[in-house]
Amino acid sequence: MTTTLTPDQLEEFGNELDAIRQRVIADLGEDDAAYIRDIVKKQRQFEIAGRALFYLPPAWPLAVAALSVSKILDNMEIGHNVMHGQYDWMGDPGLSSRMYEWDNVCPSEQWKYSHNYIHHTFTNILGKDRDIGYGVLRMDEDQKWHPYYLGNPLYAVLLMVFFEWGVAMHDLEVENLVAGKRKVSENKALHRGIMRKVKRQALKDYVLFPALTGPFFPLTLAGNATANLVRNIWAFNIIFCGHFPAGVATFSEEECEDESRGHWYYRQLLGSANITGSPLFHLMSGNLSHQIEHHLFPDLPARRYPAIAPEVKALCERYDLPYNTGPLGKQLWSVASKICRLALPGRSRSHDPEPVVEPALAA
């Protein structure tokens, strides 16, 4: 394992993070429950307002905005976090990771496997974490270059526009089908699950609600499609800024064999990046603007991340570890340049983590 910490330091580092986690868990209670219920209520209100405003054609932009906000809240602060089991302790079936289904074409069951298990366990391990490039993009120098990747920026734009579809298709491992590493028959159940959700969403957003607005059918249809698009673009950008800005490290499978808990934390820290912003921005990003804290503690209610972030950052300073953060514009620019740079054949590099954009000490 190549780390900048000794095994003893890693263990100590892990213990300190465990202590933060314990403190939050012991403190979970009414405030957290009231918070998530309030967000759910707001999301439903935005949705109802959005659907209703389509009856008033001049209010079309407002309707799209309300529905977009509803879909973003549903997928990010509610869906993503509930499906991580962050609110399972409440015992409310409506907020249980086992039952929750989100407004997205990717079935929750399938997403929980590829996201909660594969991505969160093997974060940024090349060859294991399929979120690196989503099987479409070249997002790391260690991914072998191929003329196909000349289209990297184009694929990224397409992935952004059709993000929910990309996330659903992601699990079908199309690239492995093409490479002959996966059989079509293995996808049967997944395919059925996706089709069921696709049909439901298409029926709701592209048939029923437009039909209910009668003569405004085309306007409502376009509005619903726009809201889905807005949610796709927003989610893509937040997620890509959480893992692909300059300074985020990737790891090899060999490095992570027989990994200690401390090293797991270390890898989660180095494999994630934060975005700075206002409380409203954090809410709309599902607190994935605190991707570092989320990767360290995926099952703690996301509303707690802003409060523990300073402690995590202070810990990083003490251990002289990078804490990758920056405003949205900067992180986006960094991701975009990486996507473009990696379209071309690049040098291979050592597994040492790259220097970060903003060292913790300087921030």
Partner 1 sequence: MSLAQSLLRSRAVAALTSPHGVDRYLEIVNPMWAAAEVRARVVHVRRETSGEHPVATLTLQPTSTWRGHRAGQYVQVGVELPGSSRRLARCFSISSAASAPGEQFTLTIRAHDEGQVSKFLVRDARLGQVLHLSQADGEFTLTGSPATPSPHPVLLISGGSGITPVMSMVRTLLRDGYDRRANRPVTFVHYARSAGDQIFADELAEIAAADNDIDVHVHHGDDRFSAIALARLVPGFRDVDTWACGPAGLIDLVCAAYDTSDRLRLEFFKPPSVASGSADGDVTFTTSDRSAANTGTPLLVQAEAVGLTPVFGCRMGICFTCISRKTEGTVRNVLTGEESSLPDEDIRICVSAPVGDCVVDL
* Residues binding partner 1 (CB under 8 A): 18, 21-22, 25, 28-30, 32-34, 40-41, 44-45, 48, 84-85, 88-92, 94, 96-98, 101-103, 112-113, 116-117, 120-121, 197, 200-201, 203-204, 208-209, 261, 264, 298-299
State in angstroms the smallest separation of the CB of 113 from partner 1: 7
Closest CA to 243 of 106, 339, 348, 170: 339
- Tell me the CA end-to-end span of the chain in Å, nearest whole number: 28
C-beta of 22: minimal distance to partner 1 in Å?
Answer: 6
Choice between 149 and 251, CB closer to partner 1: 251
* 57 CB-near residues (< 8 Å, 6+ apart): 216, 219
Q: The dihedral of CA 235, 250, 141, 114: what is its sign?
A: negative
- Output 113 or 217, the one with its CB closest to partner 1: 113
Query: Which CB sits closer to partner 1, 192 or 204?
Result: 204
Looking at the Cβ atoms of 115 and 282, the one nearer to partner 1 is: 115
Contact 136, 155 (CB under 8 A): yes
Tokens, residue 81: 């976090």
Output 92 or 311, the one with its CB closest to partner 1: 92
Q: Which is nearer to partner 1, 25 or 160 (CB)?
A: 25
Provide the 3-class DSSP secondary structure of residue 298. Answer: coil
Residue among 128, 120, 124 at smallest CA distance from 140: 124
Q: Give the nearest distance from C-beta 347 to partner 1 in angstroms.
A: 34
- Shortest CB 207 distance to partner 1, Å: 9
CB of 129 to partner 1, least distance (A): 13
For residue 267, the minimal CB distance to partner 1 (Å) is 13
Kindly report each contact of residues 336-340 with a partner whose C-beta sits within 8 Å and lies 24 or more positions away, as own/partner. Answer: 336/153, 337/246, 338/139, 338/244, 338/245, 338/246, 339/137, 339/139, 339/152, 339/153, 339/156, 339/244, 340/152, 340/153
Tokens representing 51?
Answer: 């659907």
Minimal distance in Å, beta carbon 12 to partner 1?
A: 17
Nearest approach in angstroms of CB 48 to partner 1 is 8
Shortest spacing between CB 201 and partner 1, in angstroms: 8
Nearer to partner 1, 208 or 340 (CB): 208
295: three-class secondary structure by DSSP: helix
Do 266 and 13 form a contact (C-beta atoms < 8 A)?
A: yes
As a whole number of Å, the CA-based R_g of the chain is 21
Of 74 and 140, CB closest to partner 1: 74
Q: What is the DSSP letter of 244?
A: -
Q: Which is nearer to partner 1, 208 or 361 (CB)?
A: 208
> Helices (H), strands (E): how many in the chain?
17, 2
In the numeric block, which tokens belong to residue 328?
């949205």
- Nearest 5°: phi and psi at 341? -60, -40
